Amino acid sequence: MASGRKKKQSNEHEETSQIWFFLCEAMSLTTFSQGNYTLEEVKHMDLTLDLCLKLSKAKGKVNDYSFWIHSDSMAAAVQLLSDQSIIAMYSLYCKNDPIVTIIIRGANDPSPNTSRTPSHVNSLASRRTVSAQRGILATELFIHPRIRHASGSTDFETMEKIEDERAMISFIVDEEVLTFTKDYLLGWIDSQLADMKHPTEITVHSLGEDGRNHEVKLTSHVWEKFLLRGQWKEGLQAVWDKSVRAQSEREEMLANIANASPNFVQACQQYIYDLRNFGNNKGSRTRLEGTGHKFYMGQPYFDNATRDKLLQLPTQSGTLEGVLGALEKKRLDSSICASHDLFPIFKSVLGAQ
């Protein structure tokens, strides 16, 4: 947690009252090991997966275990695949919750979202004893039942009925079970990420038994409850983890730029507006063309120092500079369109409306 990326909490009381539990449990054991610390203590640690293991009072190597994070704002525990993902997940989901739990299990043990260990009752009682001293009640992680793989869905790529359970990804939306092939889902997600869509803004399609096209948005709830667990989680977890980390680091960089430049937020909003309206607003077109920059990243929006910082903003595939470079190569035989090419990219990266 002792990272330059960690922001100071605005509420000092929350900082000292939030509790972190580091729990190590196993499906084969009735015993558990557990450590607890305040956020103030955790902030002064260089939090890594290896340190999480030590804080739980367990022995062994990181590769022997799987690591998960959970707090009340999360629909399910999310697996931590790297040291950086700890801060990223915390920043997105856990900052305002009274309790954060790092759950550590054997690498071959099932997810804590779908199973309870023999030590569950005792470890929960221990957490509640500790949290009660601070007037907080430690809650249980909801156990999600497995979805029955009875598919009447059709693969959107092959137009064949989906029957191979090993290749299925199913989840429930509006009380209806929708099924996709893993190849279709991963392929479509990758293509949307390349267009700078955030994972929670991606829409996928499924053909049901009735022949109707079901359009489904992959919300945070869908990702956390269905996609980041089960036999298919490996590929999807890497996608989610990378995106979450990039977003967290990008937001921090943008906040630092805004703190140094009071007009930065307004400049971003104007820039996004002008990109979107390049073709139908003379003022927008005049301002953009007046920058003298191939991506219109100049005055009156950004000075050179700000532009250089923006080009280094993290994205799913690397940096903003890399995304723009790929776009430039893609448009070698044509011109880059402000409203169709640049607007979606900068709206996603800058987060401006």
Tens digit of each residue's pLDDT (9 = 90 or more) over 103-128:
999 998 888 877 888 898 899 989 99
* Shared domain check, 334 and 249: yes
Handedness of CA 209, 210, 216, 220 (dihedral sign): negative
61 token code pair:
């190597």
Q: Assess if residue 9 is contained within a domain.
A: no
Q: Assess if residue 157 is contained within a domain.
A: no
* Shared domain check, 323 and 289: yes
Residues 128, 47 contacting (CB under 8 angstroms):
no
What's the structural domain count of the chain? Answer: 3
* Shared domain check, 345 and 251: yes
Q: Assess if residue 160 is contained within a domain.
A: no
Binning pLDDT at 50, 70 and 90, where does residue 286 land?
very high
Torsion, CA 147, CA 148, CA 154, CA 156, rounded to 10: 20
Binning pLDDT at 50, 70 and 90, where does residue 34 land?
very high
pLDDT, one tens digit per residue, over 292-337 is 999 999 999 999 999 999 999 998 888 999 999 988 888 887 888 8
101: helix, coil or strand? Answer: strand
Q: Assess if residue 78 is contained within a domain.
A: yes
DSSP letter at 92?
A: I
Q: Assess if residue 117 is contained within a domain.
A: no
Q: Assess if residue 11 is contained within a domain.
A: no
pLDDT, one tens digit per residue, over 129-153 is 998 888 888 887 766 544 444 444 4
112, 143, 177 - which closes a domain: 112
* Shared domain check, 309 and 251: yes
* Shared domain check, 346 and 249: yes
Q: Assess if residue 336 is contained within a domain.
A: yes
**Out of 3-7, 212-216, 316-320, least confident range:** 3-7
* Shared domain check, 259 and 314: yes
112, 146, 173 - which closes a domain: 112
CATH number at residue 63: 3.10.20
Q: Assess if residue 171 is contained within a domain.
A: yes
Rounded to 5 degrees, φ, ψ at 249 are: -70, -35
Residues 99, 18 contacting (CB under 8 angstroms):
yes
Structural domain boundaries, residue 35: 19-112
pLDDT score for 208: 55
Average pLDDT over residues 261-276: 94
* Shared domain check, 219 and 302: no
Give CA–CA dist 348/353, Å, rounded. Answer: 9
* Shared domain check, 93 and 43: yes
